[in-house]
Amino acid sequence: MKETLSTLSALAKEAIQNCTTEAEIEEIRVKYLGKKGELTAILKQMGSLSPEERPKMGQLVNEAKQELEELISVKRGELKNAATELKLKAETIDITMPAKEVKPGKLHPLNTVLDDMINIFQSMGFDVVDGPEIETDHYNFECLNVPADHPARDMQDTFYLAENLLLRTQTSAAQIRTMETRKPPIRVICPGRVFRADEVDATHSPVFHQIEGLVVDKGITMCDLKGILEEFAHEIYGSDTKVKFRPSFFPFTEPSVEVDVTCSECGGKGCRVCKGGGWIEILGAGMVHPNVLRSCGIDPEEYSGFAFGIGLDRLTTTRYKISDIRLLFENDKRFLDQF
């Protein structure tokens, strides 16, 4: 029995030594030490031994068992470590490899300039309001003091959708909608798209953008208009920029002005951006005509106001020195990637 035991344990040791996977080591454990294992079988034969031999033999078997268990556990640990190491090696990351280029989305230059303008006016207490792009004749013209036969209608070539329905030619329509729904004091801007049946060229597009502004309160004068618009121009173009108010005409304001700023490119000397003139026209404005206030149920004897309409596209093309307005609408990625 002793001999069988030492042969068995020698075989087992050799098998443990030579095994290469965790699955194999488990097989060996079952083969020798399992319930039906070969070493266990020897224990079962102990009954045939004499009472003196039994404890000695028992001790020998237990020692052999313990020794094998220990060897198995050590081998198992080694195999596990080796497997982990192999896995880690296979998963190494080469941190010197060039990364994939990440291309995040960006704001369209029109939106960048619009965001700046909204910030400036909000800091002066203006709310931002929205208005529909499809308007009625009533809001786009009638209430703005432009009756059906008024020659000023020729100033804006209109896309009509039906007899009374049109694509708004100006954000000024939002003035009326605001005065109908809010009571003075009113201080709002309304940015948005406007549409005109213009011939398309480097400075004209049938779709462009305006920002309408409206202030109505008791005692509003031309000084408020000048102050706010000068402040706006300085915020956008810098405090060195000169601002010029030129008399003009709009049916919905009296008096009316157009506002020019010194060209930010040449400082007023004349260059390609300002087409040699030194000045760039950025907006139209004026004191809200009493007829317009009246058409919205506001008493012009009690209240006065001023309004303005800023061309967003011109502001954007001059800021970024974009030579053709059409680039703003083509969504050419090569163009947009530059901002």
Residues that bind ligand DAH (CB under 6 A): 170, 172, 212, 250, 253, 284-286, 307-309
CB of 215 to ligand DAH, least distance (A): 11
Report the DSSP pairing between strands 207-217 and 304-311.
Answer: antiparallel
SS (H, E, C) 151-180: HHHHHCCCCEEECCEEECCCCCHHHHHHHH
Nearest CB to ligand DAH, comparing residues 212 and 260: 212
Assess contact for 262 and 279: CB atoms under 8 A: yes
Nearest CB to ligand DAH, comparing residues 1 and 152: 152
What are residue 285's DSSP bridge partners? Answer: 257, 308
CB of 210 to ligand DAH, least distance (A): 6
Phi, psi of 163 (to 5 degrees): -55, -40
CB of 191 to ligand DAH, least distance (A): 13
Question: How is 254-286 classified by DSSP, letter by letter?
Answer: EEEEEEEEE-TTTTTS--TTTTTSSEEEEEEEE
Nearest CB to ligand DAH, comparing residues 65 and 209: 209
CB of 253 to ligand DAH, least distance (A): 4
Assess contact for 319 and 264: CB atoms under 8 A: yes
CB of 201 to ligand DAH, least distance (A): 18
Nearest CB to ligand DAH, comparing residues 57 and 144: 144
> 255 preceded by cis ω (within 30°)?
yes
Return all residues near 250 (Cβ < 8 A) that are at least 6 apart: 152, 256, 284, 286
Minimal CB distance residue for ligand DAH = 309
Strand order in the sheet with 127-128: 127-128, 186-195, 207-217, 304-311, 279-288, 253-262, 243-250
Report the C-alpha gap between 324 and 318 in whole angstroms.
Answer: 10
Nearest CB to ligand DAH, comparing residues 26 and 231: 231
- Smallest CA-to-CA distance from 216 within 255, 266, 175 is with 175
Nearest CB to ligand DAH, comparing residues 9 and 170: 170
CB of 128 to ligand DAH, least distance (A): 16
**Cα of 329 vs its chain's centroid, Å:** 19
CB of 153 to ligand DAH, least distance (A): 12
Assess contact for 68 and 39: CB atoms under 8 A: yes
Nearest CB to ligand DAH, comparing residues 9 and 171: 171
Nearest CB to ligand DAH, comparing residues 135 and 212: 212
